[in-house]
C-alpha cells in the first residue's frame, strides 16, 4: 500500500517530469506500474522508492519511473480518418502550395512504439505520385526511452500487426522473423526517431508542415496543454496542419488554432484566410 504522503510526492514528481496529471484516486495505477521498477532496482517497497526519489535519485531510476508511468497504447492507422485526410486533402494541398521539390516535414510528437510514423511512411510510399518526387521528412519523438528504442527496431508481434494494418501492407512492408514481423529497411529509413519531452523546448527540431500530436495531451492538465500547444504553433508553418487524437481538442485551451470542419484537425488561427476553404473554421 502506498501512503498518502508518498502518493502526493509521486503525483508532484510525475507532473514535473512528464506533465502527467494524476487524479487523487490512481493509487492502483501507481502501484501496478511501479512494481516492476521496485523489482528491477531491488527496492523492498514504495516508501523506499519514494525516499530515493526525494534524495538525489540516480538518473536511471528517474527514467524508469517516468517510462513506467507512460501509457504507450498505439496501433497502425489508429482512428483511420487522420490518415485518409492526409492523402485525400493535406498532402495535395501542401504540395500545391509549396514550390516543386521543396521537402515536407512531418512531426509525430508522441510516437510511442512507432505505429503512427510507420503508418505515415507506408502511406507516403503508397501515394508517391501525390508528392511528385518531393521528399518528406518524418521526425518521431517520445518521452519514453523504452518505446523509442522499440520503435527504432520496428519489430511487432502478431497481435500488433493485426491491429489496424491492412494485410497487403503487412506483406509489402514487413519481413517475418520467426513469430515477429519487422518493418522493412526502406520504411524504417523514412523515419527519424529521438527522445523528446514535450515539457521541454523543441524549437531545435525546426519547422513542420504537419504535426501529429495524438493521444498525449489527454494526460496533461489544461495549463500544460495550453503551454505545449502555444509552442507547437510556433513550429508549425502558417498554413500547416495539427492533428490531435479523437478525444482531444484545442477548443477552450488554445487560441492559436481553430478547428477544421472535422473533429481532430486544426489549422493556425492566424492563418485562417490562407487555409483551404474546407479547413477554415465554421464562422
The residues assigned a catalytic role are 33, 142
The least distance separating ligand SAM from the CB of residue 213, rounded to whole angstroms, comes to 8
Whichever of 112 and 237 has its CB closer to ligand SAM, that residue is: 112
Q: Please, which of residues 145-204 interact with ligand SAM by CB under 6 A?
A: 147, 197-199
The least distance separating ligand SAM from the CB of residue 104, rounded to whole angstroms, comes to 19
Q: Please, which of residues 1-40 interact with ligand SAM by CB under 6 A?
A: 18-19
CA distance 138 to 121: 8
Segment near ligand SAM (CB under 6 A); pick from 64-72, 87-95, 121-129, 153-161: 64-72
Contact between 229 and ligand SAM per CB under 6 A: no
Whichever of 105 and 134 has its CB closer to ligand SAM, that residue is: 105
**Residue whose C-alpha is closest to residue 202's, from 222, 181, 231, 182:** 231
CB 211 within 8 A of CB 235: yes
The residue within the footprint of ligand SAM, chosen from 142, 209, 248, 256 (CB under 6 A), is: 142
The least distance separating ligand SAM from the CB of residue 54, rounded to whole angstroms, comes to 22
The residue within the footprint of ligand SAM, chosen from 7, 65, 94, 144 (CB under 6 A), is: 144
Q: Please, which of residues 76-95 interact with ligand SAM by CB under 6 A?
A: 78
Residues contacting 182, CB < 8 A, separation 6+: 153, 154, 155, 156, 174, 175
Whichever of 53 and 216 has its CB closer to ligand SAM, that residue is: 216
The residue within the footprint of ligand SAM, chosen from 150, 188, 214, 225 (CB under 6 A), is: 214
Whichever of 6 and 116 has its CB closer to ligand SAM, that residue is: 116
Q: Which residue has the cell 504507450?
A: 72
Contact between 71 and ligand SAM per CB under 6 A: yes
The least distance separating ligand SAM from the CB of residue 195, rounded to whole angstroms, comes to 9
CA distance 123 to 253: 31
**Alpha carbon 133 to its chain's center:** 27
Contact between 70 and ligand SAM per CB under 6 A: yes
Contact between 116 and ligand SAM per CB under 6 A: yes
The residue within the footprint of ligand SAM, chosen from 82, 114, 154, 245 (CB under 6 A), is: 245
Residue 1 cell numbers, joined: 500500500
Residue 90 cell numbers, joined: 493535406
Whichever of 70 and 275 has its CB closer to ligand SAM, that residue is: 70
Whichever of 215 and 268 has its CB closer to ligand SAM, that residue is: 215
Residues near ligand SAM (CB under 6 A): 18-19, 70-74, 78, 110, 112, 116, 142-144, 147, 197-199, 214-216, 219, 245
Amino acid at each position: 500500500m502506498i501512503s498518502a504522503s508518498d502518493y502526493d510526492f509521486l503525483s508532484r514528481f510525475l507532473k514535473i517530469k512528464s506533465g502527467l496529471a494524476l487524479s487523487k484516486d490512481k493509487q492502483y495505477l501507481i502501484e501496478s506500474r511501479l512494481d516492476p521498477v521496485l523489482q528491477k532496482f531491488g527496492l523492498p517497497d514504495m516508501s523506499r522508492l519514494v525516499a530515493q526519489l526525494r534524495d538525489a535519485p540516480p538518473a536511471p531510476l528517474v527514467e524508469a519511473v517516468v517510462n513506467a508511468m507512460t501509457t504507450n497504447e498505439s496501433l497502425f492507422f489508429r482512428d483511420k480518418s487522420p490518415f485518409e485526410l492526409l492523402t485525400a486533402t493535406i498532402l495535395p494541398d501542401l504540395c500545391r502550395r509549396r514550390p516543386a521539390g521543396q521537402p515536407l516535414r512531418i512531426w509525430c510528437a508522441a510516437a510511442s512504439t512507432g505505429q503512427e510514423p510507420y503508418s505515415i511512411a507506408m502511406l507516403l510510399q503508397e501515394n508517391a505520385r501525390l508528392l511528385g518526387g518531393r521528399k518528406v521528412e518524418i521526425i518521431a519523438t517520445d518521452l519514453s526511452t523504452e518505446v523509442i528504442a522499440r520503435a527504432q527496431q520496428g519489430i511487432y508481434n502478431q497481435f500488433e500487426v493485426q491491429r489496424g494494418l491492412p494485410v497487403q501492407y503487412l506483406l509489402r512492408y514487413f519481413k517475418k522473423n520467426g513469430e515477429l514481423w519487422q518493418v522493412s529497411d526502406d520504411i524504417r529509413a523514412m523515419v527519424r526517431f529521438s527522445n523528446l519531452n514535450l515539457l521541454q523546448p523543441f524549437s531545435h527540431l525546426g519547422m513542420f508542415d504537419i504535426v501529429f500530436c495524438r493521444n498525449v495531451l489527454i494526460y496533461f492538465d489544461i495549463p500544460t496543454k495550453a503551454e505545449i500547444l502555444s509552442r507547437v504553433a510556433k513550429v508549425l508553418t502558417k498554413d500547416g496542419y495539427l492533428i490531435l487524437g479523437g478525444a482531444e481538442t484545442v477548443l477552450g485551451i488554445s487560441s492559436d488554432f481553430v478547428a477544421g470542419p472535422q473533429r481532430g484537425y486544426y489549422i493556425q488561427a492566424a492563418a485562417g484566410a490562407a487555409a483551404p476553404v474546407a479547413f477554415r473554421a465554421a464562422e
